[in-house]
């Protein structure tokens, strides 16, 4: 989770976020070398009292200062494109979660395991359940960080390929969980897709990352990565909470 004066990324919770971190370090290393080298040449040129007054063209030096940057761009673009394709379009996710943004809270639609389904008062059969997540007021005794605790967490099973369908009902929001490497705009009338594969248990936090109105900073995302068995029991807990037990059918 984010901490005070932290200058680096949050600890990754998914392989994709680890790759993003590696890419960031790789790009920053090359950029630092380029910036130091160019600054050195510029300072030397500015403060040098020597110049060659007939110098108007130089094919050799022009070739070098074209080829080296092109080569550097290739070094940057290859890992960048490979991560871009890695994060897109995973063909067979195990579970699909729908995330709907509102001013100013999130609605999560979660699937049930094992093809489990229920019907409400003889109506349609559902294989998912839905709940809202608001920001919790923070007190000194609270066990969650200020502005990041929400009334309902999004429970995700560990070591499972997950798909998120993200949409909005009013204005543009942005669903972002840095530890999982997730960030995408939630657009009204459109569904965006993201994938994640959490690899360690724990609580991970995010926030809406699009200026979406006066309470934009008060719609936190609290993700809990749990074991499959715990995910199953959480589903049951939410279901029993949602449903009138007398209309419960399997
Ligand atoms: Cu928002």
Does the structure show a pLDDT above 80 at 172?
A: yes
Could you read off the pLDDT of 112-126 as tens digits, one per residue? 776 666 666 666 777
Does the structure show a pLDDT above 60 at 249?
A: no
Confidence at residue 233, expressed as pLDDT on a 0 to 100 scale: 82
**Centroid of ligand 1 to alpha carbon of 102 (angstroms):** 7
Distance, CA of 162 to CA of 195 (rounded, Å): 6
Confidence at residue 110, expressed as pLDDT on a 0 to 100 scale: 86
Q: Which CATH class is domain 15-48+56-87?
A: mainly alpha
Identify which has the larger pLDDT, 96 or 124: 96
Percentage of the chain exceeding pLDDT 90: 55
Least confident of 34-48, 113-127, 161-175: 113-127
Full DSSP string of 92-103: --SEEEEEEEET
**Centroid of ligand 1 to alpha carbon of 41 (angstroms):** 46
**Centroid of ligand 1 to alpha carbon of 197 (angstroms):** 24
Orientation of helix 59-87 relative to helix 15-47, angle to 10°: 160
Percentage of the chain exceeding pLDDT 70: 91
- Give the helix/strand (H/E) hosting 77: helix 59-87
Q: Are 198 and 158 spatial neighbours (Cβ–Cβ below 8 Å)? A: yes
**Centroid of ligand 1 to alpha carbon of 215 (angstroms):** 8
Q: Which CATH class is domain 95-247?
A: mainly beta
Answer whether 0.95 is exceeded by the pTM.
Answer: no
Average pLDDT over residues 117-136: 76
Identify which has the larger pLDDT, 63 or 149: 63
Identify which has the larger pLDDT, 39 or 87: 39
Does the structure show a pLDDT above 90 at 2?
A: no
Domain ranges, ordered by start, for the chain: 15-48+56-87, 95-247
**Centroid of ligand 1 to alpha carbon of 239 (angstroms):** 27
Confidence at residue 91, expressed as pLDDT on a 0 to 100 scale: 76
Average pLDDT over residues 221-231: 90
Does the structure show a pLDDT above 50 at 250?
A: no
Average pLDDT over residues 74-98: 89
Distance, CA of 59 to CA of 34 (rounded, Å): 22
**Centroid of ligand 1 to alpha carbon of 149 (angstroms):** 15
Confidence at residue 26, expressed as pLDDT on a 0 to 100 scale: 94
**Centroid of ligand 1 to alpha carbon of 183 (angstroms):** 12
Confidence at residue 174, expressed as pLDDT on a 0 to 100 scale: 95
């Amino acid at each position: 989770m984010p901490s005070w004066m932290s200058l680096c990324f949050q600890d990754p919770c998914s392989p994709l976020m680890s790759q993003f971190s590696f890419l960031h370090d790789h790009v920053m290393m090359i950029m630092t070398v380029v910036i130091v080298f160019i600054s050195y040449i510029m300072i030397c040129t500015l403060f040098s009292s020597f110049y060659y007054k007939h110098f108007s063209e130089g094919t050799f030096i022009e070739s070098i200062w074209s080829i080296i940057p092109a080569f550097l761009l290739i070094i940057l673009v290859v890992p960048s494109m490979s991560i871009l394709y890695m994060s897109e379009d995973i063909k067979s996710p195990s579970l699909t979660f729908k995330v709907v943004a509102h001013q100013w809270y999130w609605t999560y639609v979660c699937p049930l395991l094992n093809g489990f389904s229920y019907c409400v008062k003889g109506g349609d059969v559902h294989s998912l359940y839905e709940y809202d997540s608001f920001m919790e007021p923070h007190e000194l005794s609270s066990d969650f960080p200020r502005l990041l605790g929400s009334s309902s967490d999004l429970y995700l099973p560990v070591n499972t390929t997950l798909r998120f369908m993200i949409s909005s009902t009013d204005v543009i929001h942005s669903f972002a969980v840095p530890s999982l490497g997730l960030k995408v705009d939630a657009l009204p009338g459109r569904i965006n897709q993201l994938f994640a594969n959490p690899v360690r248990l724990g609580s991970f936090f995010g926030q809406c990352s699009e200026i979406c109105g006066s309470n934009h900073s008060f719609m936190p995302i609290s993700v809990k990565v749990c074991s499959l068995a715990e995910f199953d029991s959480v589903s049951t807990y939410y279901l029993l909470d949602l449903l009138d037990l007398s209309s419960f059918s399997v």
